[in-house]
Amino acid sequence: MKKRLDLKAYQQGILSGNRAILSQAITLVESTLESDQELASDLVQSLISKTGQSIRIGITGVPGVGKSTFIEAFGKMLLDRGKKVAVLAIDPSSQLTRGSILGDKTRMENLASDKRAFIRPSPSGTTLGGVSGKTREAMLLCEAAGFDVILVETVGVGQSETAVKNMVDFFLLLMLAGAGDELQGIKKGIMEMADALVIHKADGSNLELAQKAKSSYQNALHLGQESEKSWNPKVLLASSTTGLGLEYVWELIREYEEKMKGNGFWETNRAQQRLSWLDDQIHELLGQAFFKNSQVSELLTKEKPQVRSGELNPGTLAKTLIQLFLSKN
């Protein structure tokens, strides 16, 4: 393990835009070591006043839709417009090794080699929904380092969409055309969460199918009720190969930003997200303290076989363990 820097070195490195130190700082916040967690907490707190100026965009879609190729092409277009882009790509983790499987830096080689961009693949580990438990902290560190567009890529399965929606300003859903069922297994609820749908790979012989799919999706979205933020999701076509639609996607996001800041939803949403983050942190820290308690751990180990065999109700043991934990704290 690399030797940890001190708080001041992390601060100076991040504020100067040093990508190597930013990467080390994200490794620090992802660490499960108690000493690292304490330093990471102090670091994020010390930089909190330097955050919040970026636009945070969540990008999801079914496997095979081309999220990484879209992000690379979209990111390059943003760099050409003078933006500094950070990509937080949540890789699915191996259930055996807990290691990251996909390696987004490899899949976004051109973007990763540009000094105006920063790509950070993070294994989802055991976090519900495939979103790194430390994505929020990583996002704040990227903002403090001067990145003004943060792209958060999800695995695109399970609960990841809900988790990412709760930490970004704009939620983009990538879809494919000509895959049989136009909904492609995407639940209606996920479509309702999206601020925009993009029919990806709209090029070559697939362009006509994409145009038909666009009409179908737009009609489906119109059947839904207008959200509290008074925004009707749009459907756009895009191709990472030809560049079709990429600028329109960005223009739509900027239109959304202007409207949400104008009606007050932008800051209301971010305030609610901060409170949700607080709830998540409380649950996480309580869980850590609970399982670290020696008496709880001892009783849990002793009684687990009875739960496994069906002799003991899991709810009964859970209540007993919690009562024991509370009585010792």
Q: pLDDT tens-digit profile of 234-282?
A: 999 999 999 999 999 999 999 999 999 999 999 999 999 999 999 988 9
For residues 198 and 236, what is the distance between their CA atoms, to the nearest angstrom? Answer: 5
For residues 138 and 181, what is the distance between their CA atoms, to the nearest angstrom? Answer: 37
Where are the domain boundaries for CATH 1.20.5.170 in the chain?
A: 1-50
| CATH class of the domain comprising 52-262 | alpha beta
User: What tokens appear for 267 in the block?
Assistant: 């800051």
- Confidence tier at 229 by pLDDT (50, 70, 90): confident
Where are the domain boundaries for CATH 3.40.50.300 in the chain?
A: 52-262
CA angle 152, 277, 172 (to 5 degrees): 25
Q: Which residue has the tokens 């459907």?
A: 235
pLDDT attached to residue 186: 55
Return the number of other C-beta atoms located less than 10 Å from residue 3's C-beta.
4
Q: What is the distance, to the nearest Å, from the Cα of residue 189 to the centroid of all Cα atoms in its chain?
A: 18
Q: Is the dihedral of CA 139, 142, 148, 150 positive or negative?
A: negative
- Confidence tier at 24 by pLDDT (50, 70, 90): very high
pTM comes to 0.89
Report helix angle 246-263 to 265-292, nearest 10: 90
What fold, for 1-50? 1.20.5
Beta bridge partners of 57: 151, 170
Q: Which residue has the tokens 């043991």?
A: 317
Virtual CA dihedral for 34, 39, 40, 44, nearest 10 degrees? 150
First to last CA, the chain: 34
Please enumerate in sequence order all residues whose Cβ is within 8 A of that of 99, keeping only pairs 6 or more positions apart, or say none: 93, 123
Return the minimum-mean-pLDDT range out of 151-155, 196-200, 310-314: 151-155
